[in-house]
Amino acid sequence: MPDYDAPYRLLIDGQLVDAASRLDVINPATGKVFAHCPAATAAELDSAVAAARRAFPAWKALGFAARAALVARFAAALEAEKEPLARLLTQEQGKPVGQSRDEISRGGTLAVGMTKIGIASEVIVDTADRYVELRYNPLGVAGIITPWNAPVNLAIGPLTSALYTGNCAIIKPSPFTPLTTLRIGEILRDIFPAGVVAVLAGGDELGARLTAHPGIDKISFTGSVATGKKVMASAAGTLKRVTLELGGNDAAIVLEDVDVADVAKKLFFAATVNSGQVCMAIKRIYAHEKIHAALCEALVAEARKAKLGDGLDPSTTLGPIQNSRQFERVRELHADAKQHGQVTEGSAGPSEGYFIAPAVVTGLAENDRLVAEEQFGPVFPVLPFSDVDDAVARANRTRFGLAGSVWSRDLERATAIASRLEVGTAWVNQHRITMANVPFGGAKESGLGRTYSRLGLEAYLEPQVISVLRSAQ
């Protein structure tokens, strides 16, 4: 189990390894360096890949049931370590500690849920003269590259997909949030055979090396659209399989028949949880003109109730923005929104750290930056509509296609509208809900492939046809 007092180390071939160079890790609630993490070199990546390739044949041969049992042990260990891991996650990422606990528990639940999905070979032809079977073989070694907004969840999803299907895995967390993943590496070391999992912290260049490495067969990348395109281009050199989980600009369409007070609470939470730094956060709200004013008023009331502060303070409901680059970006979009529309802010945060008050923005047009771009912050536009067709067209007028939602008491009407959204997931009367057996992923430039579910697992498997001609003998 993790030694929380020990220095952070890489996990390579079942060993915790010190690295020669170190990166500063900043607590976003203070803006100050509070820890250092090792940065893996190209040589350390090579040894992790070599160890994974050595471990692969035995791991592949172990079978689904035995691998599922180890994933279940891992999930139980994660739950047992939840409190110290959650506090560390909050220190490096900023989110309120209750949300960190949820992220860790959810990671374990999703992991176990995925191992309940059966993958069996299929007999396609079985006649007197011919036998054809379709098998699913693991690919080999998966590289898992994660972002800074939900580093635990976004590592555990692809990690479970890789391990359960018989692949080895190398995780590279974001340089902004490497610490919890490195401590989880210490848990993984106690459970999985040497070489099956490695954890290598490092900068962007380490991610680029993973995507080009000839010993890696699959890349799971979660992050921005711009980096996702680079990952895909780099992976093409060795024709690696890729799963890309990228950004979003999710629209919520709110019809005139909703209970405004109730829906406002749900919309506000889905727009500002983790300070809006969620790929599938609500990033634009389209409200019917009959309820637009009342909804904005109710959203502003929610924003005023928010309590900004250090996520370790149990009364905090909104933490800081995770890093200074993102902080500057949200401030830029906020300033642009002020120029073109009306910004009503909720309660302000502490003066040190990367705090941005939640804000409801009205009066913007479709091409204003806060509407057209992914803000990844707690400042969001509420746009009126009178005609549902127009709302759907505006919701779809984007290169993003991660998710969206429709809110109404009339489920049939809402479902029909939701099905017209050009997104990977269209929710009705909810947003940001994922399940182990339900595919999640982006349409358009929000990604490639799906995570979770049978579809997600198949992305770590190579179909192989065994075709026997019986009549030849």
Active site residue 245: yes
Q: Looking at residue 183, what DSSP letter applies?
A: H
Taking the complex as a whole, how short is the minimal distance between the CB of residue 73 and ligand NAD, in angstroms?
26
Residue 176 CA, distance from chain mean position: 15
Q: Which CB atom, from 52 or from 296, has the smaller least distance to ligand NAD? A: 52
Taking the complex as a whole, how short is the minimal distance between the CB of residue 216 and ligand NAD, in angstroms?
12
Q: How far apart are CA 148 and CA 224, in angstroms?
A: 11
Of 140, 169, 144, 2, nearest to 71 (Cα)?
A: 169
Taking the complex as a whole, how short is the minimal distance between the CB of residue 208 and ligand NAD, in angstroms?
4
Taking the complex as a whole, how short is the minimal distance between the CB of residue 312 and ligand NAD, in angstroms?
22
Q: How far apart are CA 101 and CA 271, in angstroms?
A: 20
Per-residue burial over 70-108, b if 16 or more Cβ lie within 10 Å, else e, is bbeebbebbeebbeebbbbbbbbbbbbbebbbbbbbbbb
Of 143, 440, 146, nearest to 322 (Cα)?
A: 146
Taking the complex as a whole, how short is the minimal distance between the CB of residue 240 and ligand NAD, in angstroms?
12
Q: How far apart are CA 85 and CA 26, in angstroms?
A: 17
Query: Which of these is catalytic: 44, 92, 186, 279?
Result: 279
Q: How far is CA 410 from CA 148, 254, 383, 415, 434, in A?
A: 38, 11, 21, 9, 23
Q: Which CB atom, from 9 or from 172, has the smaller least distance to ligand NAD? A: 172
Query: Which of these is catalytic: 81, 245, 302, 374?
Result: 245
Q: Which residues bind ligand NAD (CB under 6 A)?
A: 145-150, 154, 172, 174-175, 204, 207-208, 211, 222-224, 227, 230-231, 245-248, 279, 374, 376, 402, 442, 447
Active site residue 373: no
Q: Which CB atom, from 93 or from 362, has the smaller least distance to ligand NAD? A: 93
At 203, is the secondary structure helix, strand, or coil? coil
Q: Which CB atom, from 230 or from 397, has the smaller least distance to ligand NAD? A: 230
Six-digit token string for 330: 């949200």
Q: Which CB atom, from 275 or from 408, has the smaller least distance to ligand NAD? A: 275
Give the dihedral sign, CA 177/179/184/190. Answer: positive
Give catalytic residue positions: 245, 279
